Amino acid sequence: MKLHSLAAVILLATLVLNHVSLLATSMEPLYQWTSTVELQVPGVALTPNGYIGTMSKLIVTVAWPGKGIVYFSADPLTELDTQAAARMAALIASILAGVNYYSYDYFIRLESNTSIVGGPSASGAMAVAILAALRGINVPTNFSMTGMVDPDATLGPVGGIPQKLEAAARAGVKVFVIPIGERYSTDLNTGEKVDIVALGRELGVNVIEASTIADAYEIATGDKLTPKNVTLDISYPPWLVSSLNESINFYKKTARSNMTCAEEALSGLSTSLASSLVDILRDAKHNMDVGTKLEAAGKLYAAASRYFAAAIETTYACNTAKAYSSTNPLQVLTKLSMSYINETTAILQNVENKFNESLRANMTSITDVQLQLYIASMTRLLDANSSLNTASALLGIAEKAASYQALQALSRALQAAIYAYYRALTANHWLTLALQAADDGEPINLDLLYRSVETYTYFAESAVNYLQTLGVNIADTAEQIALAKDVIQRGMERRDPVKVLQALAYTVKGLADVNSQLHAVFNTGIAVLDASKRSLSVLLQRLADLNVTLILPLLYTEYADTLVDVNAKLGLYVQSSSYALLLALVANKQAGTPITALQGGEKCSSETMTVTKTTTIVNTTTTTVEKTITVTSTTTTTETISKTVAGETGSTRSSPTLQLLSYVLVAGIALAVGVASERMRRQP
């Protein structure tokens, strides 16, 4: 019994001390500075009579110092993808403002009188409002806008603009910004095209098309964020120039050798087969001619890419011509395909082994330069593996097919195997560069890398969801993003850098695909092309000003500039922007303090900031309004959390009263323990 009493006293002491310790350390760092901006934003609601425009109040507060946390709440309802888009809006705004994203917290609240239907069309307004708050600038009450934020900091296309404009006019809006290329937008109820500028004149609203978040911000505030023309200097370090020249020489020599081989073998082929191979060789010659011009102009990565394509085409033509010139084309095609598959498998296994050894052993000291080279290798590794799987599957089909179908399957298998082989070579090449670049660049923050990749993955998922609500079939991209989400979750759990890079490669490719398809749906690709390049130039210039060594974004930009295909150019610009944003986040070199030169913002005295934790349940239904449109309805519950902010920062401290209380409790417990021990000592 006496032992039990002592145990109880000790237990009480432990509990009290733990409680006091918890109270003393649970107080979070306090905000010194906040800035709030309010903005009217339009949305679309579905009623029994069809779609109508509605207005919501967007309230954005940025607070410093923070941890890069985005608090999003909506009342009464919100779309699932709005939450991921809010985080991307904060990322874009912080980069454009030239501040450190992780030095602030972002409080975003959307208040509406009706449940909102549609995609992340308020994310562009969020980016503008956050940017204004960071720069201490107010937005006029008669301004509103619609459009989604894209990773390249452009203002992306959205639906329901006629309904949104009508709602904005009813709310007293006089200036209304829409994404470029959407002047003629579809009415959700009639399916007819509407001239939004003309409709705006009828309603007394000045409708302005904006191509980028920066443009929309300048229209809203009059604050000139960037010069209109930013000249980007694309130059590479000497070791990269040397490497690109080596690649050019290798692929040029390979293409020429296989070109000769194919031309010699063509004479023994039938006219129809020879004709198809001649077309391939003609395209290869075009790539080599373009490569020669690009090489002379100093565009080395673009030149190497052209020679790379020519090498693949001529290798396929040479091997196919040899196979069909033989007495048993089926057997020769099978043998050639297996040879390339086996050789590629060996190369990829070696690359994967080096990845695992180098990254898992040295990830704590990886630099921003190495990160870009690792990413370049990983994207090519995954691409090679995908083509390798395709080649193997086609071989399996050929085994069960009749003669003609077998020949077709084997030809495609050989093509996929050859592509996989050359892709594997480039994966090994970029990984070798990464291993040699240990002393180049600045160390990155690994925790920020993990968080950034996770943000990208969820934003890509939200973009996929938005496209699906528009009725677009993007099953392949959705599968790719789902795979990225699974990989990043496993990578985060195990702190596995290889998995994280895999997820990043899947996600950025998925973002590029989604962006291209989104512009295809709204037919805005050509209109936004110049804007995407201009916006990308601003992002890259921001990084250059911070002395971040740019490699991957510059390589992709250089190659994109030489292409003609709109979707291909946009895809590369989006990938370049995505990697630029990533570098800005993980390099962590931006200004960490508020822009105090401006008059906006407030120093904080003690106050309580309310944060709403949002839990969202999504149900997808199909509603018919003259045509079938899939609508995502969302049920949201909120939980209020209070966070105290005050005008002093520093190490975490408890109050004098709390300290005194802890001393009294400890002294009392010590006395009780002493008395109990003395009584026990005196017992026989």
Q: Judge whether residue 636 has pLDDT over 70.
A: no
**Before 179, cis peptide (omega within 30)?**
no
The burial class, CB within 10 Å (0-12 / 13-18 / 19+), for 310 is buried
* Separation CA 286–CA 307 (nearest Å): 10
Return the axis-axis angle of helices 403-436 and 329-362, rounded to nearest 10°.
30
Q: Which of 232-246, 364-378, 409-423, 664-678 has the highest average model confidence (pLDDT)?
A: 409-423
Asked if 364 and 497 count as a contact pair (C-beta separation under 8 A), the reply is no
Name the residue among 160, 164, 150 with its Cα closest to residue 213: 150
Distance CA 32, CA 14 (A): 35
Kind and range of the H or E element at 357? helix 329-362
Mean of per-residue pLDDT scores for the chain = 81
Task: Tell me the two tokens of residue 500.
Answer: 């994280």
Calculate what percentage of the chain has a pLDDT beyond 90. 49
Whether the predicted pLDDT of 625 surpasses 80: no
Q: Please report the domains of the chain, with CATH numbers, ordered by start residue.
A: 33-225+602-645 (3.30.230.10)
pLDDT of residue 55: 93
Sign of CA dihedral 492, 495, 498, 500: positive
Q: Count other Cβ atoms within 10 Å, centred on residue 424.
A: 27
Q: What is the pLDDT of residues 152-205, one digit of tens each?
A: 899 999 999 999 999 999 999 999 999 999 999 999 999 999 999 999 999 999
pLDDT digits (tens, 9 = 90+) for 333-380: 999 999 999 999 999 999 999 998 888 776 667 889 999 999 999 999
Report CA dihedral (118, 123, 126, 131) to the nearest 10 degrees.
-160
At 512, which helix (H) or strand (E)?
helix 497-522
Q: What is the sign of the dihedral through the CA atoms of 547, 551, 552 and 557?
A: positive
List the end-to-end C-alpha distance of the chain, in Å, as a whole number: 14
pLDDT at residue 558 greater than cutoff 60:
yes
Query: Each residue of 21-77: pLDDT tens digit?
Result: 443 444 444 799 999 999 999 988 888 999 999 999 999 999 999 999 999 888 876
E strand or H helix at 567, and its extent? Answer: helix 566-587
Confidence (pLDDT) at 627: 32
SS3 457: helix
| Beta carbons within 10 angstroms of residue 654's beta carbon | 17
Q: What is each CA distance from 573 to 135, 137, 257, 474, 557, in whole angstroms? A: 27, 30, 33, 20, 6
pLDDT in tens, 479-496: 888 888 888 888 777 778
pLDDT digits (tens, 9 = 90+) for 13-34: 444 444 444 434 444 447 999 9
The predicted model scores a pTM of 0.79
